[in-house]
Amino acid sequence: MISVDVKLKGAAETAERLRQLPKKLQKKMLRRGLKNAAKPILKSARTNVPVKSGALKKAIKVRAGKRTKGQLSVVIGPSEKWFVGDYFYAGMVEFGHNIGKRKGSHTENKGAIGKGNVIREWKEGTHYMKNAYEANKDKAKDTLATEVSICLEESITELGGGMKPNG
């Protein structure tokens, strides 16, 4: 998957206001913002993925990523890892792959790469996820900033304008 660190310019005031809220509320806002920010990338990836049966297209989803202390993330794709699970071929479609058997008894190719190996044709990947990210990364960053700001304003209104200390 593609890993991206987002640093929002001019967001120092928003970040400071966000830090004043309880930790649970902070995480909730950021998760909501990340999920909504991923939607344009998700839509583009589903549009660009090659379709044979439609299973891979349906499998592309936004999921919660691994959590570490102080970091939240989302994963856009058919699973959390490439080349595993029911949609193992998603990695082959994205990155490319060799066509044909790994080893064979084709006499015309013996000794070409090694004993008993065959020269296999390379099928270039479509890079549907990478292209979706590149086309929508700025929109995603803007959406994240907007979503967090909206959530922050809603939370401040719900809390009655008074900020509770971190906890």
Q: What's the pLDDT tens digit per position in 104-125?
A: 555 454 445 555 556 788 899 9
Q: How many residues does the chain have?
A: 167
In a domain, 126, yes or no: yes
Residue 28 pLDDT class (50, 70, 90 cuts): confident
In a domain, 164, yes or no: no
In a domain, 165, yes or no: no
Output phi, psi for 87, to 5 deg. -110, 40
Structural domain of 101: 12-158
In a domain, 56, yes or no: yes
In a domain, 135, yes or no: yes
Counted domains in the chain = 1
In a domain, 84, yes or no: yes
Residue 165 pLDDT class (50, 70, 90 cuts): very low
In a domain, 163, yes or no: no
Among 57-61, 86-90, 145-149, 157-161, which stretch is predicted with the lowest mean pLDDT? 157-161
Q: Give the pLDDT score at 152.
A: 81
Asked if 78 and 60 count as a contact pair (C-beta separation under 8 A), the reply is: yes
In a domain, 166, yes or no: no
Asked if 25 and 155 count as a contact pair (C-beta separation under 8 A), the reply is: yes
Burial of residue 49, with CB atoms counted within 10 A of its CB: 0-12 exposed, 13-18 middle, 19 or more buried: buried
Record the pTM. 0.74
Residues 23, 6: Cα–Cα separation, whole Å:
20
Asked if 156 and 22 count as a contact pair (C-beta separation under 8 A), the reply is: no
Six token digits for residue 37: 């920010």
